[in-house]
Amino acid sequence: MEGLYHHTNKQVHEVQSYMGRLETSDKESVHLVENEIQARIDNIFSNLERLEILSSKEPPNKRQNAKLRVDQLKYDVQHLQTALRNFQHRRYIREQQERQREELLARTFTTNDSDTTIPIDETLQFNESLQNAHRGMDDLIGSGTNILQGLRDQRVTLKGTHKKILDVANMLGLSNTVMRLIEKRAFQDKYFMIGGMILTCVIMFLVVQYLT
């Protein structure tokens, strides 16, 4: 399990570094980078499924810690998946706006002999669509921010739970040691008591024999 865990953790860090290439990629290569990142994320999810099975087979004293480590990796890759989807949605909105702008600029006006007719209604509708798209993107970014914050809070909670479990495990280990010492002392005291009783009986027997 350790080898697969470290390999998966390395993959998570590689995806994090790949995410930085999205903002700097041009229109022709950004799709390739997105596909590469998604393929790596899918591979990580596949490894996590195997890690969950392997962690359930760990010895009882290591099982909880192994599950916590797997859960932490799962939260990290879910965070990356959400970030990738947010980027893809922003790119889609941006490309849609660029297409609409190009269509507007390429539109030919209708001219008459005495005046020029400009499709004002369509222009207003286009501006309204742009504003709606901006609002939708802002809502999406806000939602993505809330999701990321929720993942961070869950990770902090998970670390706190991990620490508490380790503390309890250490306390249980100490309690087991104390119980073993108590049982050993009780076992020794039992033999001391029996030996003392035998010695007392011998002394009493010798005293009676001497006095009689």
Query: 100-112: per-residue pLDDT in tens?
Result: 888 877 776 555 5
pLDDT above 70: residue 148:
no
- Could you tell me the CATH number of the domain that includes residue 95? 1.20.58.400
Give mean pLDDT, residues 124-138: 66
The whole-number pLDDT of residue 114 equals 47
Domain assignment present for 129: no
Most confident region among 2-11, 117-126, 183-192 by mean pLDDT: 2-11
Print the domain residue range for 13.
1-106
Domain membership of residue 191 (yes or no) is no
- For the cut 80, the answer to whether the pLDDT of residue 163 exceeds it is no
pLDDT band at 176 (very low <50, low <70, confident <90, very high): low
Residue 86 falls inside a structural domain: yes
| HEC-encoded secondary structure of the chain | CHHHHHHHHHHHHHHHHHHHHHCCCCCCCHHHHHHHHHHHHHHHHHHHHHHHHHHHCCCHHHHHHHHHHHHHHHHHHHHHHHHHHHHHHHHHHHHHHHHHHHHHHHCCCEECCCCEECCHHHHHHHHHHHHHHHHHHHHHHHHHHHHHHHHHHHHHHHHHHHHHHHHHHHHHHHHHHHHHHHHHHHHHHHHHHHHHHHHHHHHHHHHHHHHC
Residue 212 has pLDDT above 90, yes or no: no
On whether the CB atoms of residues 13 and 70 are closer than 8 A, the answer is no
Which is more confident, 149 or 87?
A: 87
Q: What is the pLDDT of residue 142?
A: 65
User: Structurally, how many domains does the chain consist of?
Assistant: 1
Among candidate residues 121, 95, 124, 119, the one with its CA nearest the CA of residue 107: 119
Does residue 168 form part of some domain?
A: no
> What percentage of the chain has pLDDT greater than the value 70?
59
Return the higher-pLDDT residue of 185 and 179: 185
Say if 126 falls within a structural domain.
no
Any domain includes 203: no
8-66 pLDDT, tens digit per residue, is 889 999 998 888 888 788 878 888 888 999 999 999 999 999 988 888 888 888 888 88
